[in-house]
Structure formats: C-alpha cells, structure tokens
Chains A and B, each alone.
Chain A
Amino acid sequence: MRVELIVNGTERFADDVWPGESLLFTLRERLGLPGTKNACEQGECGSCTVLLDGLPVCACLVAAPQAAGRDVVTVEGLAVEDQLDPVQEAFVETGAVQCGFCTPGLVVMVADLIRRTPTANDAEVREALAGNLCRCTGYEKILDAVRLAAARVAS
C-alpha cells in the first residue's frame, strides 16, 4: 500500500508498505531517513523516538499506515541546515554523546521536554527520560546537556 505523510515539513510517500510495517521501518528503509535508530523494536529503549503530530512516540510501535496524513518530526528535522537545535548543541558540548546510538531518540525527547516544561527540575527530567536507554554515559552528562539546553532556551 502507499502511505503519504509529512516528514520534517515535507510531503513524502512510500509505496509497497506492508500493513503491519512500523513507522520506524518506513522511515529507515523506504524514506532514506536512518537517523532514527532501531535498538529494540519493542518500545523499551526510546532510540526511535520521533514526534507524531507533536507528540513523542516510539516509531517502532506505530504502524506506518497509522501515520498516514500526519506530521512526523525525526532527528533529521531538528537542525535548520547547519544551525543545530540548542539540545543538539548541548549534547555535543557536554559529553552527552558517546557511541551516540541513543542520541537521536534522546535529542528528540529532550527537545519536546524543554518545549513543554522549560523549567523541569532533575527529578522531572529523569521521569521524562526514563524511556530512553543509554548504555555508555550513565546519564550524568545527559542531565548536564538537558540543564544547559534548558538554560539556553530560557535565556
């Protein structure tokens, strides 16, 4: 089947989509957007987090046809050309990126968190990011990145 959707502000379509196919598969395999990562395929790790009509979801848990006609923002849609989103900048600067496989999902999630709750305290940040696994950093520098990005967005 054909699925038409808006990805990072652009109308896109994919053909031959299998009805049970995940949005993650469609993005990665059919639309040439591999930035969204596949690390567990069952909604446990958050590496495939995208915004669907402005809400963060695990793209592996959304059937691609469910996204038809809707607005999807992936990690590739955060930066405006060479200008990184403040969250992306903060992740690079604070050492929140090691292997980086969790990073696309995290930056999407954190960008959404800061937009909704610009003054989130550490406990709220931890709660918000509890669905995004990172195996490298122990999360300390991810918290640093969130604090830095939030401060920059607020100022």
Chain B
Amino acid sequence: MVSRSTHDHKPLIYEVRGGVGESPVRPDGTLKVKGEFAYASDLWLDDALFGVTLRSPHPRARITGIDISGALEIPGVYAVLTHADVPGTKHYGLDHSDQPVLAIDEVRYEGEPVAVLAATDPHTARRAVGRIVVSYEELEPLTDARQAVFDSSVPPIHPDGNVVRNQPIRHGDPDTATAEVVVTAEYEVGMQDQAFLGPESGLAVPAADGGVDLYIATQWLHVDRSQIAACLGLPEEKVRLTLAGVGGAFGAREDLSMQVHACLLALHTGRPVRMMYGREESFFGHVHRHPAWMRYEHGATRDGKLVYVKATIVLDGGAYASTTKAVVGNAASLGAGPYEVPHVSIDAYGARTNNPPCGAMRGFGAVQACFGYESQMDALAEKLGLDPVEFRARNAVSQGSYLPTGQVIDSPAPLAEMLRKAAATPMPAARSTMELGELPGGYGNTTHGEGVRRGVGFGVGIKNICFSEGFDDYSTATVRLELVAGEPVATVHTAAAEVGQGLVTLQGQIVRTELGVEAVTIRPADTSVGSAGSTSASRQSYMSGGAVKAACEAVRAQVATLVGRAEPDIQLTGGKVVSATTGVVADLADVLADGAVEETAVFRHRPTVPLDPFTGQGDSHVQLALCVHRAIVDVDVELGLVKVVELAAVQDVGRIMNRESLEGQIHGGTAQGLGLALMEEIQVTDGRIRNPSFTDYLIPTILDMPPMRLEILEYADPHAPYGLRGAGEPPTLSSTPAIVAAVRAATGLPLRRIPIRPEHITQQ
C-alpha cells in the first residue's frame, strides 16, 4: 500500500496480514485435519432418536394404502409419519411447490419419500421401516423427456403439464439466414451426480416454544427455512436453522432433502431426531444434473465467421420442477456460447418426467449447452479447415459484444487472449517410458503402448454469475468491532453457507483489509441474521463478500464519526484510525473503549430482468465468466480407454482474492468436468437408477486426474466488489468439451454423447 500522507507512515507499516489477495490458512482447516470439525452427520444428543425414510420402489405408481401398524409394534419405534401428518402445506419446491413432503396419492419417481420413522437407534429404525406396508398400483412411467415436451398425446404427470418452461431466443433474422458452410448434429449429456462426500444429514431439536431448531448441511439456510416453516405450519421465527459442517454441495443441497422430515419427527415425538443418509439413499435423496438432448445447426462463412446458430435443447427435469425453470434460462441464454453470432434461434425446454428429479449442479444448464456448442465449433473448424483455436478466436466475444439475448457484455471478456494463452501453454513432454501407470488402463496392464493415440483439444465455457432474470438476489452481513482484552477484534455474522469453497477464509480477509484488524472471528452461519442467499451460481464471493465489505464500510464510517472525522478518506489500519491527508487520527482501541461498533449491511447486485418469454431478449445476467481449457489425452483405440495426460486452464477472475482457494476451485471444477466427459453417469433405465453406489457411479480418483496448469487473469469487473468475478463454475463447463475434443482428435470419431464410454470408441 502506498500512503498519500506526508505524515508519519508508521501505522501503515503495521498493515495486517491475511487480507484480500493473500492466501491465509482456512480457519476451519485445523479442525478438519484433526477430525474434530462437526459435520451434520457427526451431531449427537444423548436422547436423540434416529430417523429413516421409506421410499417408493416404483418410478410411477398410485398409492392405494399405507399400513404402518407393523412398524409401530416394534419396540423402540417412536413415530411413523405419512403425508397425513404434515401439518402445513404438503408440497414444497424452490421455484414451484410441486413436490410432496411425503407422497400423497401417487409416487412419481423411484425413491420418492412415502413415510418417515423415528426409533431409538439406526438398526431398529431400519428394521422397522421394512414393516411399513404400502400398496401400490403401478403406472406406466413417462421417461422420455422429448416425448414429454413434444408429444401432446402423452397424459401430463402433473396437473399443470409436463413442460416446466419453454424459453425461445430470437436474435437477428434466423429464419432467413443462410450460410456457406453448415454443420448439424445431435448431442446427448448423461445424468451427472454431484457426489459430494458427506451424505445428507441433520439434527432437529424440538424447542420449548413449540418451534424447532435444525442443525443442517445446506446451501441456503433461509430458503430452507421458508419451505420448512410452511410445511410445518409454523411461523418462520419458530424454525431456527444453524449451518452444520457441510461435506461438499455442488448444487445438490439447494433443494430440501430430509429437513422437513427430521423436523416433523422431532415435533411429533418431542425428542431430538437425527437423520443421516447412506450413499445409496443419497443417490435417491437429492436432485442431479439435468440430462440433455440437443440438436444444433451452425452456419458460417468460408472465411470462418459464424452466421447463425439454431438449436433445440431439451432438459429432463425428472419428477418435480426443482430449479428446472432457471436451468432452462441458462441453457437458452448461453446456448450459443461466448461467440458473436448475427442470427440465433434457440428453443430450450425443461420437462417433467418420471425420471429422478434434476436441479442444480455446478454449471447449471450452461454445462449441457457448452458441450453442444463447443462440439459444433470443432466440427465447423474441421469442415472449414481452420485451427479450432483460431476459429474460436475469430468469433470470440469481447467487451461490448452482444449476447443473443441482446445483453451487452459490459465488462472485460478477453476470450481471444485466453484462447491464445491456452494454445501457447507449453506441451507436456512426449511419453518417454512404457510406465504402465501412465498408459490408458494403468496398472490394469491392458496395453504396453500399442494402439495408443494422443489427442489435443480445446474447450471454452461462459457462465452467468449470481442469480439472473430479475431475481431479488441479496446478501446480509453484520460486522462488529470491539475490544477484547484491550485489542480490537472484528466479528462477522452471515447466514452464508461454507460448503468447502473457503468463504469463511475470504470473509476474514475482507475484514482485515477493510478494518485493519488482524483478529477476526467468523460466527456460525444461522438464521438469526438476514439471508445471505444461496451458495451457488458462483455468487458468494461477490454477494456475501460484497455484504461483508459494505458492513465494514459502515463500521468504518461510524468510527470516523466517533473521532469527529466523518470523511471518506478515513481508513483503519494496524489498529489505528488514519486519514489519508493528515495521518494517524486516533488509536482504534481508544475509540472502541466506550463500546462496540456494529453495523449490518444488505448487498444487492445491479438489477436484472427476466427474458422475454417469446423472444428471449433482456439483460438477464449480472456478470459473465469465461474459462478455456486445453486437454491432452492418450486413447487406447483398441480398448476404448482414455488417459487424460494434462489439463491446462486459463480463467479470468477479475481479481484474485485468495489464490490458493481459487486454484482449488479451478482444479476441483475441472475434475468434475473430466468426470462428465469420461466417467460419470447415473444410468437410468425405465425410470430406475441402476448404479446408486460409488462402486458403479465412478468419480475421478487421483489416478484419473492429470497434472493441471493454470493461468489466471485479472481483468477487473468495474461493477463487482474488488473487481472480482465468480470463479467456481466456469472450469466445470470448459474441461468437458476440451477432453472430448482431444479424444475426437485421437480417434477421429464424432463422439456426440457424454460421458464417453469405451464402447463408443471401439464400436464405431
């Protein structure tokens, strides 16, 4: 920091460590490595009962009877509850309350909760739940999303129809646009699971006031609370939530899972109730990434300029609406990718079927579309005889470009530079040995190098940051500055969910930078403070970071007032109150001697508008973020095995707030994109999940992940706090098409479905 003061600079020498731009260690890190961090599944009270869920074995059936008497006869069973025991509204949902707390007269997906039971211990509870007898009349499930959308003869599985949203985008004159070179193809994306490691868990404790306290792993305490309170028939103030330790989220904790169930059981029994899903139940207990079917037609001039994009995107939302509406909005508005296209026609649909419900997962609608448009860009480049990087760069958006929604990109979007940097990244050395571990198939000893081809591919993704389409998106933070043992200490209180990303670290960094005190305490997130919004859409650094910054600014202004210097240039640093013009004004400790200074701030990003329902026009997004990947793969073309050799990412983040956490986000997001490209799919047949386990649903191991090279750019967004740009999701978009492109380059195959399976490579 350079001081503008001509006075004594001494206070500025004491600039606190661990501020914005540094990488201080996580405040929860030591607890986590010692096994002492209290995750939701670790919570315990001596008199707590254990709650379990009875789920539908059918993807679609009418319930003709439920007999709970057998379960109630088991000693140690305290309650068996069905829909009849739900005292408030019987349905919930994030956008649209269409999901029953417990199935009423029909089950619409395999695994739908039908009854819940509380018993003294897990063994008793699991034994007893098997004694509940539910009579079903099986119905023909609707499992084809395209049929749900386009076949009007299919009876609706919900009274208000099977289409949750149809969002057209019309830009330019797509109906009459023609092009010299045209590429058309259909693409499919399988159903991906978030596969967080800490299964759904929580502890509900009945309170003396008739309310309930819930300790829960979630992404958004307040939206949980509003849904829970409605279902319990309680005023919101009687439903108090505290964030328990969260073992990863990635979107899967945005919808409710066992929250209402645990509270119902606790209120019914008057005892604390803990619930903890196992891995198999977790696969049925949360929404997944929407599978997609997409048809893309791209037209370009012979010299490599895009003329038009026409696309149909069908997203299968499964049995209930969840966030399908917003997922469709993303797929539609970002469906042409980060390219300048004069004429665009996109129709995106979200369907309800009897498949597993789908909702939020990292990338949220933008991931599926990205696989489509990036596959098309490669196909066009090949047909044009152009280098895929050069072709993309020729059409890349930049600041001032229009999206097909008519929205102008009004902050840096250095895509052409990012592409060239990705291409210029040094290549890894050619494989020099026949070390088995470095070959496709690894120590499976499937090849000694014969039939192995190397390929290189690129992928680009564009993701909206924060909530879009007119959503009133805000975050609240309270910051308190007080003397503790004679030293100034800051305390931050928000309801923002730390799910692993490092927001607790960042909150401390912001306070240190803004208030110049080293000691920062982060209070547990709970609902006694205002909403922080969701930990999703890569929005918490921007939104809760913005709220903490705003609260600090208010505290600073209050301190300035207390020292009689209510002027904007007052800063707090190293425990001093400092004027940029006159130097040290006071010791902060002296100012705080008369009492604490506390301020609460609500931070909102600039407003957005909904997309026009007929033309898809509108400034729907707050901020857009880009990532570019280069993938290098070795493919055993005889056995269809792929080894990713290296992944290089170039991402613009506006401002590096914490490099270590940021790199962790890019690495982790890239890994989930690799999973979608090559490994991860919930296989659903006739509405039934065939692989609900980590034995059969494969997520990348340390052997599957290659070394990664990162190049991080900092082109500040003038609209955002500190100029930062949300960073968690973009790498998940671009790594997938980059890897697929590399496999195509190695094999010469079109590969239009992900994840790529060995038979896709060998059976062509």
Q: Given A41, A93, A101, which contacts B197 in the complex, CB threshold below 8 Å?
A: A101
Q: What 0/1 readout, one digit per residue, does chain A (36-78) give for beta carbons within 8 Å of chain B?
A: 1111111011010000000000000000000000000011101
- Segment of B132-140, B450-458, B459-467, B495-503 in the binding face: B495-503
Residues from chain B with Cβ under 8 Å of A136 in the complex: 248, 500, 664, 668
Q: Which residue of A lies closest to B670 (CB)?
A: A138
B438 within 8 A of A: yes
CB-defined interface of B627-646 with A at 8 Å, one 1/0 digit per residue? Answer: 00000000000000000000
Q: How far is the CA of A42 from the CA of B437 in the complex (A)?
A: 25
Question: In this complex, what residue of B is CB-closest to A89?
Answer: B33
* A151 nearest CB across to chain B (Å): 18
Q: Which residues of A contact B36 (CB under 8 A)?
A: 35, 76
18 examples of A-B residue contacts, CB within 8 angstroms: A28-B42, A34-B38, A37-B41, A39-B198, A41-B278, A42-B693, A45-B197, A92-B29, A92-B30, A95-B664, A99-B248, A100-B500, A102-B197, A103-B32, A126-B702, A127-B443, A133-B701, A141-B660
Given A126-B702, A138-B670, the answer on whether A101 and B247 have CB atoms closer than 8 Å is: yes
Q: How far is the CB of A73 from chain B (nearest CB, A)?
A: 11
- Among B33, B197, B438, which residue has its beta carbon within 8 angstroms of that of A39? B197
| A91 x B33 contact (CB < 8 A) | yes
Say whether, besides A99-B197, A135-B668, A123 and B435 are in contact (CB < 8 Å). Answer: yes
Q: Which residue of A has the minimal Cβ distance to B674?
A: A138
**A135 contacts B708, C-beta separation under 8 Å:** no
Also in contact, A135 and B23, with CB within 8 A (given A29-B122, A95-B660, A99-B248): no
- Contacts A18-B123, A97-B26; is A129 near B702 (CB within 8 Å)? yes
- 15 new A-B contacts at CB < 8 Å, known A37-B39, A138-B668: A34-B44, A38-B41, A39-B198, A40-B694, A47-B197, A79-B34, A95-B661, A97-B29, A97-B33, A98-B501, A99-B500, A126-B437, A133-B694, A138-B670, A140-B707
Q: How far is the CA of A81 from the CA of B25 in the complex (A)?
A: 20
A130 touches B26 (CB 8 A): no
Verify B438–A123 contact, CB threshold 8 A. yes
A3 and B710 alpha carbons, distance in the complex (Å) = 51
State which of B38, B198, B660 has its C-beta within 8 Å of the C-beta of A99: B198
State A131–B704 Cα separation when bound (angstroms): 12
CB distance from B98 to the nearest CB of A (A): 29
Chain B residues at the A interface, C-beta cutoff of 8 Å:
23, 25-26, 28-30, 32-39, 41-42, 44, 121-123, 194-199, 245-250, 276, 278-279, 435, 437-438, 443, 499-502, 660-661, 663-664, 667-672, 693-695, 699-703, 705, 707-708
Cross-interface CB contact of A75 among B34, B44, B663, B699, cutoff 8 Å: B34
Q: Is the CB of B695 within 8 A of A42?
A: yes
Q: A92-B26, A99-B198, A137-B668 are in contact. Are A127 and B703 (CB under 8 A)?
A: yes
How far does the alpha carbon of A102 sit from the alpha carbon of B708 in the complex, in Å?
21
Question: By the criterion CB–CB under 8 Å, are B34 and A133 in contact?
Answer: no
Interface string of A74-88 (1 = CB under 8 A from B): 111011000010001
* Residue A150 at the chain B interface, CB threshold 8 Å: no
Q: Which of A37, A100, A131 has the most CB of B within 10 A?
A: A100
Q: Using Cβ atoms and an 8 Å threshold, which residues of chain B touch A92?
A: 25-26, 29-30, 32-33
Please indicate the chain A residues that have their CB under 8 angstroms from the CB of B33 in the complex: 75, 84, 88-89, 91-92, 97, 100, 103-104, 107
Once A74-B35, A100-B28 are accepted as A-B contacts, the answer to whether A141 and B667 lie under 8 Å apart by CB is yes
Number of interface residues of A (CB under 8 A): 57
Given known contacts A45-B197, A127-B437, A139-B702, is B246 in contact with A99 (CB within 8 Å)? yes
Instruction: Give A116 to B536 CA distance when docked, in angstroms.
Output: 41
A-B pairs with the 5 shortest C-beta distances? A35-B35, A99-B500, A138-B667, A100-B32, A101-B247
Contacts of A125 in B (CB 8 A): 702
Q: How far is the CA of A142 from the CA of B701 in the complex (A)?
A: 12
> In whole angstroms, what is the CA distance A39 to B194 when docked?
13
**A22 to nearest B CB, angstroms?**
12
**Interface presence of A7 (CB below 8 A):** no
- Chain B positions within 8 Å of A143 at CB level: 702
Interface of B is mostly: loop
A134 beta carbon closer than 8 Å to chain B = yes
Q: Chain B residues near A76 (CB, 8 Å)? A: 34-36
Max chain A Cβ within 10 angstroms of own Cβ: one of B123, B278, B664: B664
Q: Is A26 an interface residue (CB 8 A)?
A: no
Q: Write out the residue numbers on chain B whose beta carbons fall within 8 Å of the beta carbon of A107.
A: 33
Contacts of A41 in B (CB 8 A): 278-279
Bound together, the chains give a CA A74 to CA B36 distance in angstroms of 12
What separation, in Å, do the CA atoms of A74 and B246 have in the docked complex? Answer: 21
Name the residue in A36, A98, A131, A139 with the highest tally of chain B Cβ atoms < 10 Å from its Cβ: A98
The answer to whether A130 touches B37, judged by C-beta atoms less than 8 angstroms apart, is: no
Q: Are A98 and B502 in contact (CB under 8 A)?
A: yes
Contact at A135–B664, with CB atoms within 8 Å? no
- In the complex the two chains form, what is the Cα distance from A103 to B664 in whole Å? 15
- Chain B residue at minimal CB-CB distance from A16: B121
CB distance from A69 to the nearest CB of B (A): 24
Tell whether, in the assembled complex, residue B437 and residue A133 are in contact, meaning their CB atoms are under 8 Å apart.
no
- How many angstroms from the CA of A75 to the CA of B247 in the assembled complex? 17
Among A37, A78, A131, A132: residue with most chain B CB under 10 A: A37
Cα distance, A89 to B248, chains bound together (Å): 22
Residue on A nearest B198 in the bound complex, by CB = A101
Chain A residue numbers with a CB within 8 Å of B435 are: 123
> Max chain B CB contacts within 10 Å: which of A18, A37, A95?
A95
Beta-carbon contact of B279 and A98 below 8 Å? no
Cα A75 to Cα B37 in complex, Å, equals 12
Residues in A whose Cβ lies below 8 Å from that of B279: 39-42
Q: Is the CB of A39 within 8 A of B247?
A: yes
A99 contacts B664, C-beta separation under 8 Å: no
**B694, A42: Cβ atoms under 8 Å?**
yes
Are the C-beta atoms of A40 and B693 separated by less than 8 Å?
A: yes
Chain A residue numbers with a CB within 8 Å of B122 are: 29
Task: Please give me the residue from chain B that is nearest to A122 by CB atom.
Answer: B707
Q: How far is the CA of A33 from the CA of B38 in the complex (A)?
A: 11
- CA separation between A79 and B661, bound complex, in Å? 25
In the complex, are the beta carbons of A134 and B197 less than 8 A apart?
A: yes
Cα A18 to Cα B245 with chains together (Å): 29
A45 and B694 contact, CB distance less than 8 A: yes
Report whether A91 and B664 are in contact in the complex, using a CB–CB cutoff of 8 Å.
no
Residues of A within 8 A of B29 (CB): 91-92, 97, 100
Point out the residue from A38, A88, A94, A135 that lies within 8 Å of B699, measured CB to CB.
Answer: A135
In the complex formed, the residue of A with least CB distance to B694 is: A44
- Among A37, A104, A123, A137, the residue within 8 A (CB) of B667 is A137
Cα distance, A40 to B198, chains bound together (Å): 9
- Chain A residues contacting B37 (CB-CB under 8 Å) are 100
A80 to chain B, nearest CB (A): 11
Q: Which residue of B lies closest to A107 (CB)?
A: B33
Q: Which chain B residue lies CB-closest to A125?
A: B702
Nearest Cβ on chain A to B268's Cβ, whole angstroms:
23
* Complex Cα–Cα for A88 and B35 (A): 10
A133 and B197 form a contact (CB under 8 A)? yes
With both beta carbons as reference points, the residue of chain A lying nearest to B247 in the complex is identified as A101
Nearest-neighbor residue (CB-CB) of A127 within chain B: B437
